[in-house]
Structures are given as C-alpha cells and as structure tokens.
Amino acid sequence: MPAEARPKVEYAIFDLDGLLGDSESILSYTTNTILSRYGHRMTWEIKSGLMGKTQRPATEYLFSHFPDLEGKLTIDEFLKERNEMQEALFRKVSPMKGAVSLVTGLYQAGVPIALATGSNNYNLALKTSHLPDMFKCFPPTRILTADSPEVAPGRGKPLPDIFLAAARSLGRDVGTADECTPEQAAERRKGIVFEDAVPGVNAGVAAGMNVIWVPDPELRALAPDNDYGAAQILNSLDEFKSEEWGLAPIHFEKV
C-alpha cells in the first residue's frame, strides 16, 4: 500500500514472539536440540507452518513432518523437555530491534495499544517480566493470550478472533468473527496490527485491519513475492513511519 493511500489509524495491536521479543530463536534452538538426537531438524519451511499456533497444535504439526518419531518420542515427552529448556532461556529474551521505542512511543503519545499472543500466561510472564519498560505499557486487561476466555479454544491465528478481542479490549466496537456491520468494519480499519508470522498476518487481514508484517529474512525468502495481504512489509520495527499512518512521530533509539 503506497504511503499516500494509507488510512489514519487510531489503535495498534502487537504480536509478541519474534515481533517484540526474540523468543523465536529460542524456540528454534530448543526444538532442534531435541530433534537432532533423532537425525531431524526444523527448517524454516516447517517452522513457518507452526508459527502463530498454540503449543500443542504447533507440536502436532511439527511431528507430522517426522513420522518416524512414533514409538521413540511422544509429543508430551517432547514438550516437557523443551519447556524445561525454554524456561531459563525465556527469562533472558531480548527485545527485537525498534520494539521498545515503538511500544513506548505509541503509549506515551496516547495511542491505545494491546497485545495479542499465542503464548500462554505462564510463558508470557517468563518472556516479559525482565522487560518492564516495554510491557508496562500493556495493562492486563489489554493482553490476550492462549489462556484468554475471550478467544475460544481452536480459534487462534490465522482466525481473526484474537485481534478482534484485542480491539474490543480497547473499547472498539468491531463485532465478531461471524458478525460485522458496516460501522464495525469501519472501526476495524482504524486499527493497525504488527506481526512477524504468516498466520498472524492472515489473522489481521481477516480481522479487516491494516497489517504491518515484519518477517524474519529466512521466512520472507520462502515466498518473496507474496505479501499475504499485508499493507506494509518492514525489515525491522524501527523502519515504521508512524506519521504515514496519521500517528505522532516515534523517536527510535540508535542501537
């Protein structure tokens, strides 16, 4: 979408993993550490299909690529070992480039913001408690997770439910996944979604919002000509020009 065609947005919704915090690299490391014992590796092609899914559906998808694991390693055994490995590493997750400046800048400018993640509440706390400057900007009522009752089981990304629930947490009348009036559709178009994963982009587009896609270069290389309906593609969050969307200028700290 060219800059001159971009609408004026009024609220923003952020994904977490791989977008605000570098937890995706931890997922890859721990997953491949376990798989390597069985002669396997999670490639980016495989990983792209599980991004955005909650833990068990993502692991079921992962295991579907390695049928010879049957009888050697169960999903429960895999998750137990990986979760134990991840617990210590999640406490040290680094913010992604531009994340702190963008989140705090929007918050300080009075732009309503919400968090919409497929992580459960426990992992969310592990990944964010050491980054208070950024995550204090998201009140608990504006955080949607895999445990949130506002999102029914099985209705995670790429379905739009979590982004619609996040918008409602900001007081926006955006309807539901099944019902949307013209007025509610207009309210959806006032929102901007920041995502790194294709299922998340699909969910934001399905929600009728403006999606900013910030993919890992290896993910982008899988389909370099496909934007999946995103309004804009960035290499990192510090490339975001808030003024082009009718928002206050954001000052990004040089790293």
The Cα–Cα gap between 249 and 111 comes to 12
pLDDT over 70 at 1, yes or no? no
172-183 residue pLDDT tens:
999 999 999 999
51-102 residue pLDDT tens:
877 889 899 999 999 999 999 999 999 999 999 999 999 999 999 999 999 9
Strands 191-195 and 11-14: parallel
Query: Which domains does the chain possess?
Result: 3-22+94-245 (3.40.50.1000), 24-90 (1.10.150)
Please count the other Cβ atoms lying within 10 Å of the Cβ belonging to residue 215.
25
131-141 residue pLDDT tens:
999 999 999 99
Q: Distance of CA 145 to CAs 14, 52, 127, Å? A: 12, 11, 13
pLDDT over 70 at 220, yes or no? yes
The Cα–Cα gap between 32 and 175 comes to 41
- At 102 the pLDDT is 97
Question: Mean of the per-residue pLDDT values for the chain?
Answer: 94
Residues catalogued as catalytic: 15, 17
